[in-house]
Structure 1
Amino acid sequence: MESFVNDNKVDQNEYDLILIGGGQSALACGFYLRRTQIKYLILDQQAQPGGAWIHGWDSLSLFSPAEFSSLPGFMFPKSENYYPVRDEVISYMDDYQSKYELPVKRSVQVIAVLKQEGGFTLKTSIGDFKAKTVISATGTWASPFVPVFKGLNQFRNEQLHSAYYKNALDFIGKKVLVIGGGNSGAQILAEVSKYTAVTWSTIGVPAFLPDDVDGRVLFDVATQKYNEQKAGNDQVQAKYNVRSIVMVPPVVDARARGVLNSKGEIERFTETSVVWKSGEEENFDVVIWCTGFKPALKHLEPLGILQPDGRVNTNGNSKVEGINGLWLVGYGDWTGFASATLIGVGRSARSTVEEVVDFLKL
């Protein structure tokens, strides 16, 4: 669904601000932009609302209950599920955009952002747009990461990243290797193991949170640590490691079935197998990479600001160093505390919009 405060803005293609990406980060910024005099537009590559959740696997869910998973101004509706599922999150984002009549233009790919006098030119799949300021809010889902392994280019059996995993039905009767010790690895292992033989590879022993610790608790713990550090206490230790695996119901079930066991690290690949650090060689039909993502910032390459790790230097929050008028929202703590979460992005969105208003003197 597209909604525009003023249809004439689309024809003009010139704005005070353009936001790139239409997921949760852009929506949160849009909520605060409504209260300003800024002429802005959200350009989203997706054909529908939902951000990265559109591409998530069928059984993907939040880590927090609905009441702790809201964007600013509009509560996530009650859910029949303790942890809202993918389709509920997509529906919530659709309703959010409609409720606040946010100006989103969909199915538009931003190919490149160029700096020019007085602002930026955005090269897109439907032509050029000009803006005095830009907020990039493209997230990470479009940039899946696969680590380097010796012999990987020789492996000729099936591979896919968790970004493209949908469900386990395609793997029935196949021998599957899941690589990655985070939440996606544990959840996909849990699901696929109900249908076929699965082996899990992680670096070190997987770390699991207590059963009663979910995203809500992790956010509270991380907030406490953040506030302590802001107050000058850099030695504070969080009670829980936010990188540990959340024991959502499918993972609890997998534990009960005895499948949450890692075989350890891989030494190298062959054409049809992996060689483990132990020296054992084992054949696999499918490898599922649950190894995370890098920031989806290819559109910023012309600005010459991308670092080797794919990040951009910021001021510790969302403002990009060395490029006036450019902000990043929602890529992780390096662009604002908890900014990659539904409940946390509002803080970064609000402060970023305040900075944009100040920059534009509006």
Structure 2
Amino acid sequence: MNDSVVGGVGGAAVRAVDVVVIGAGQAGLSAAFHLRRVGLEPDRDFVVLDHAPRPGGAWQFRWPSLTYGKVHGMHALPGMELTGADPARPSSEVIGAYFDAYEETFGLRVHRPVDVRAVREGEGGRLRVETSEGVYATRALINATGTWDRPFWPRYPGQETFRGVQLHTARYPGPEAFAGKRVIVVGGGASATQHLLEIADHAAATTWVTRREPVFREGPFGEAEGRAAVALVEERVRQGLPPRSVVSVTGLPLNDALRAGIADGVLDRQPMFERITPTGAVWADGRTVEADVILWATGFRPAIDHLAPLRLRGPGGGIRMEGTRALLDERVHLVGYGPSASTIGANRAGRAAVNELRRLLAREEERAGEPVTV
């Protein structure tokens, strides 16, 4: 198999490849590694497109105070361990350098920065991938765009009137920026608790607000517990519902830092406020809290808008999946989506997607009477 250049609209060349991988985070690099393992060559049989300016996936954008030693559950990419990392060094630097070395070691030749604008039905049974560097006609697609580019901002009455600063975890600058400030942190996940524990040492006051009572998990979290949690998320995407994070169904693992935060009153959760005022927030019972900053640690949504022309979303708002495959189009696989939105899940999903696509490409070549080379 090899790529070719075919005619395009208005004289623009369209490059034909077997597989386009969108995204070069953990899931995308894992998929690219396995594509090479089954004999496909980068920039000949497949291309990896990434819109980030440098290697590192979403990790390159993490806040400086998130050191490597604070990272939960970072699993190595397939075929190359991450060794000798300084736990006091920012995770963005450690993992960015690791991803960079990984791309170099396996010759993955990631194209960046490239924006994928749309994926739509093309000619001859191929998918048309429209990007900032041109158009690709591909037999199959591995979407590994993650969630970092789609921070979720809830909407509450009066939000537009707030005279202070509102920001999202995606732009969290580190705890020093909150020195002397009154801060409301909204969200019940790991990022919210990490932010609170850091900010409390600098801020004049902090208030923690969540929609649901947080669940702290005691005891070990082994392989069986992990499989059960992933199964819950997988069932949602099988039904075509928007995926929830794995953390949302496992609870927050209690560690010494969280225990200290609970004991000190930093992690004293309050129910969700009713509305936002120019100077803070008001609860249904009339209680008010004055604030200079509202930090929305409210998570992210899958970055899949470029797939909209394929009409893969179901009535439930999500893409119905079977494993990594979109049920409505066997050419499209999503990795790092739903149950595979973790570092170890992304590795497994990358391998699974490539194994399925390998069979798909082989069937196509048999039907066309071409030699099967995958």
Per the normalisation by structure 2, the TM-score is 0.81
Q: Does 1:16 align with 2:23?
A: no
What one-letter code is carried by the residue in structure 2 that aligns with 1:109?
A: D
**CA contact under 8 A between 2:146 and 2:337: conserved in structure 1?**
yes
Deviations 1:45-104 (A, max 9, x none): 01111111011111224213x6xx212221221444399934222222222211111131
Match of 1:311 among 308, 313, 318: 318
CA distance in 1, matches of 2:233, 2:178: 46
Seen in structure 2, the aligned counterparts of structure 1 residues 204 and 270 have a Cα distance that, compared at 3 Å, is: same
Give the secondary-structure state (helix, strand or coil) at the position aligned to 2:354.
Answer: helix
Q: How does 1:297-308 map to 2 (within 5 A)?
A: 297-307=304-314
Distance change (3 Å), C-alpha of 1:350 and 1:224: same
CA shift digits 1:188-243 (9 cap, x unpaired): 01111110121110123322233x64xxx35552126768999xxxxxxxxx9854
**302-311 or 180-189, which moves further after superposition?**
302-311
Q: How does 1:119-138 map to 2 (within 5 A)?
A: 119-138=126-145
Deviations 1:281-329 (A, max 9, x none): 22211111011111001111222223577631212x1111222411110
Alpha-carbon RMSD across the aligned residues, in angstroms, is 2.9
Matched, 1:266 2:273: yes
User: Does the alignment pair 1:353 with 2:350?
Assistant: no
The answer as to 2:289 corresponding to 1:279 is no
Q: Distance in 1 between matches of 2:98 and 2:14?
A: 31
Name the SS for the 1:191 alignment partner.
Answer: helix
- Give the number of aligned pairs: 334
Residue of structure 2 equivalent to 1:208: 216
Which residue pairs with 1:112 in the alignment? 118
* Alpha-carbon separation, structure 1, partners of 2:57 and 2:131: 18
Q: Partner of 1:233 in structure 2?
A: none
- Gaps of at least 5 residues in structure 1 are 1-5, 231-239, 334-338
Q: Helix, strand or coil for the counterpart of 1:14?
A: strand
Q: Which moved more, 1:146-155 or 1:185-194?
A: 146-155
In structure 2, do the counterparts of structure 1 residues 308 and 291 end up closer, same or farther at CA, with 3 Å as the change threshold?
Answer: farther
Paired residue for 1:237? none
For residues 55 and 225 of structure 1, do their structure 2 counterparts lie closer, same or farther at Cα, with a shift above 3 Å needed?
Answer: closer
Q: Which moved more, 1:305-314 or 1:143-152?
A: 305-314
Correspondence for 1:103: 109
Is 1:63 aligned to residue 65 of structure 2? no
CA distance in 2, matches of 1:78, 1:245: 28
CA offsets 1:159-214 (integer angstroms, 9 cap, x no match): 1110110202222122111000110100001111110121110123322233x64x
Could you tell me which residue of structure 1 aligns to residue 368 of structure 2?
Answer: none
Partners of 1:319 and 1:208 lie apart in 2 by 33
Call closer, same or farther: CA 1:287–1:310 in 2, change over 3 Å.
Answer: farther
- Contact kept? 1:155, 1:272, Cα under 8 Å: yes
Distance in 1 separating the partners of 2:101 and 2:119: 30
Q: Is 1:187 aligned to 2:194, yes or no?
A: yes
Superposed counterparts of 1:121-200, under 5 Å: 121-196=128-203, 197-200=205-208
Match of 1:75 in 2: 81
Q: Name the CA shift for 1:209/1:227 in 2 (closer, same or farther; >3 Å).
A: closer
Structure 2: segments with no counterpart, 5+ residues: 6-12, 235-246, 363-373
Instruction: Give the alignment partner of residue 302 of structure 2, picking from 286, 295, 299.
Output: 295
| TM-score computed with the length of structure 1 as normaliser | 0.83
